[in-house]
Amino acid sequence: MFGIFKKKTDKETLYKQYQKLTKEAHALSTSNRKLSDQKVFEAEEIMKKLEKIQ
């Protein structure tokens, strides 16, 4: 019940951002390839940060 007040860790927030960016990249892959590639690049940068944390 009180889990809603728990602060998310950096790892959790980065993983959420990574998931969001990969979903956006997948959605854009059919309409705007350049923007999709940019989202994939941003997601890869976040994954590098996640690997550094672990």
* Domain residue limits, the chain: 8-53
Q: Record the pTM.
A: 0.84
In the structure, what pLDDT confidence band is assigned to residue 1 with cuts at 50, 70 and 90?
low
- Indicate the range of 8-12, 23-27, 43-47 predicted with least confidence: 8-12
Does position 28 have pLDDT exceeding 70, yes or no?
yes
The pLDDT of residue 6: 82
End-to-end CA distance of the chain: 29
Whether 26 and 37 have beta carbons less than 8 Å apart is answered as no
Cα angle at 21 between 30 and 38, to 5 degrees?
Answer: 65
pLDDT digits (tens, 9 = 90+) for 7-20: 888 899 999 999 99
